[in-house]
């Protein structure tokens, strides 16, 4: 049985900004290889040039501001 899996709250992949991004970068493609539909939602500023797919994982860029401060 294949699952639809979404990762949210990260800056983006394939770059490894922190432990969570590294975790998602390693886990998401492995889940996709097992036949699951995996989507990673990241911040547009950090996912520039990443494309629409990374190792079988769908990438979706969400519009954000450039700074974490308002």
How many C-beta atoms surround the C-beta of residue 8 within 10 A?
11
Distance between CA atoms of residues 59 and 21, nearest Å: 13
- State pTM to two decimals: 0.85
- CA 63 to the chain's CA centroid: 14
pLDDT tens per residue across all 70 residues of the chain: 899 999 998 888 887 778 899 999 999 999 999 999 999 999 887 776 667 999 999 999 988 887 767 6
Rounded to whole angstroms, how far apart are CA atoms 45 and 28? Answer: 21
Give pLDDT, residue 49. 66
Domain map of the chain by residue range?
4-62
Query: How far apart (Å, rounded) are the C-alpha atoms in residues 24 and 67?
Result: 22
């Amino acid at each position: 049985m294949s699952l639809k899996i979404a990762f949210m709250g990260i800056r983006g992949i394939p770059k490894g900004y922190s432990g969570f991004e590294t975790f998602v970068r390693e886990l998401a493609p492995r889940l996709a290889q097992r036949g699951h539909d995996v989507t990673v939602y990241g911040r547009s500023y950090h996912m520039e040039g990443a494309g629409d797919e990374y190792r079988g994982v769908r990438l979706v860029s969400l519009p954000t501001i450039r700074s974490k401060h308002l």
